[in-house]
């Protein structure tokens, strides 16, 4: 047990250093923050150009906050949680580092734990930065960060499988596109009621709705049951896919 902890700690240190040194992964961590800065200025300029009064803006503040914070969750999970895992594993396979680790008596499960821990830490840090850029209320911060971690789980499970299936970073880039697009589906719910209903059943649709309920102060009401079930169902599905394919893919590598 102690040996496993030491290995995971050493691997996590290496993975964190790789995150800083790999330009793709580092830029990906900055992109959600950049989008939040852009959204903040766009919404402010649009309100000013339309002649919206402060009273009208305050009345719409919850809808704006839901869109801003919900969008930041989707973008951070879709970009950071998926790409750090995908590109991290793909880079190690491309440079034959993963094979070297396996020959050095490092288990595939230890590599997975390390990559997942670094990805979740990055998601938390980026989400916190997005939250303050979006000027969310401090009372929303705790549920926001927790929802970010919970929502990252199904995306990360699938990304781990795709990462093990990748042969190089170019393949990882190809695989990351559908993962990102699926993660961004809840943001399209604002287009129409029909789109919102469909988006609510996507992997991050439940998380997006739960964030809106947290902003309304209704997170612990009956309204949260359906989005919570949707979220748990996607986590279970991701875990099943990972459990089914992990052993074979890890052995093939």
Count of domains in the chain?
1
pLDDT given at position 11: 86
Q: How many CA atoms lie within 13 A of 196 on its CB side?
A: 8
For 192-243, what is each residue's pLDDT tens digit?
Answer: 777 888 889 999 999 999 999 998 888 899 999 999 999 999 999 999 988 8
Residues 206, 200: Cα–Cα separation, whole Å? 6
For 77-93, what is each residue's pLDDT tens digit?
Answer: 999 999 888 888 888 88
pLDDT given at position 137: 86
Paired tokens of 217: 């102060």
For 31-73, what is each residue's pLDDT tens digit?
Answer: 999 999 988 887 755 544 544 443 444 445 777 888 889 999 9
Lowest mean pLDDT among 16-25, 95-104, 168-177: 95-104
Average model confidence (pLDDT) across the chain: 84
Mean pLDDT, to the nearest integer, of 181-202? 86
pLDDT band per the 50, 70, 90 thresholds, residue 108: confident
Give rounded-to-5 percent helix, strand, coil for the chain.
Answer: 85, 0, 15
Residues 241, 237: Cα–Cα separation, whole Å? 6
Query: Cβ distance 83 to 181 under 8 Å?
Result: no
How far is Cα of residue 171 from the mean position of the Cα atoms in its chain?
20
Structural domain that includes position 210:
2-252
pLDDT given at position 244: 84
Query: Cβ distance 65 to 136 under 8 Å?
Result: yes
Query: Cβ distance 238 to 155 under 8 Å?
Result: yes
pLDDT given at position 251: 56
């Amino acid at each position: 047990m102690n040996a496993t902890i030491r290995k995971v700690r050493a691997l996590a240190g290496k993975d964190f250093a790789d995150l800083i040194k790999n330009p793709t992964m580092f830029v990906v961590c900055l992109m959600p923050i950049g989008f939040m800065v852009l959204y903040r200025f766009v919404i402010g300029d649009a309100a000013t150009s339309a002649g919206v009064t402060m009273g009208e803006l305050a009345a719409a503040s919850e809808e704006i906050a839901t869109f801003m914070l919900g969008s930041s969750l989707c973008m951070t999970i879709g970009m950071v949680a998926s790409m750090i895992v995908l590109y991290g594993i793909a880079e190690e396979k491309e440079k034959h580092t993963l094979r070297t680790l396996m020959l050095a008596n490092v288990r595939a499960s230890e590599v997975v734990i390390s990559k997942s821990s670094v990805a979740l830490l990055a998601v938390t840090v980026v989400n916190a930065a997005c939250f303050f850029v979006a000027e969310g209320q401090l009372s929303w911060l705790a549920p926001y960060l927790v929802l970010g971690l919970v929502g990252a789980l199904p995306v990360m499970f699938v990304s781990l499988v795709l990462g093990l299936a990748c042969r190089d970073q170019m393949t990882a880039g190809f695989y990351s596109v559908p993962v990102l697009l699926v993660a961004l589906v809840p943001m399209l719910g604002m287009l129409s009621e029909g789109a919102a209903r469909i988006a609510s059943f996507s992997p991050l649709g439940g998380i997006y709705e739960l964030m809106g309920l947290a902003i309304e102060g209704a997170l612990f009401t009956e309204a949260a049951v359906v989005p919570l079930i949707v979220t748990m169902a996607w986590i279970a599905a991701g875990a099943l896919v990972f459990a089914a394919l992990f052993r074979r893919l890890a052995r093939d590598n």
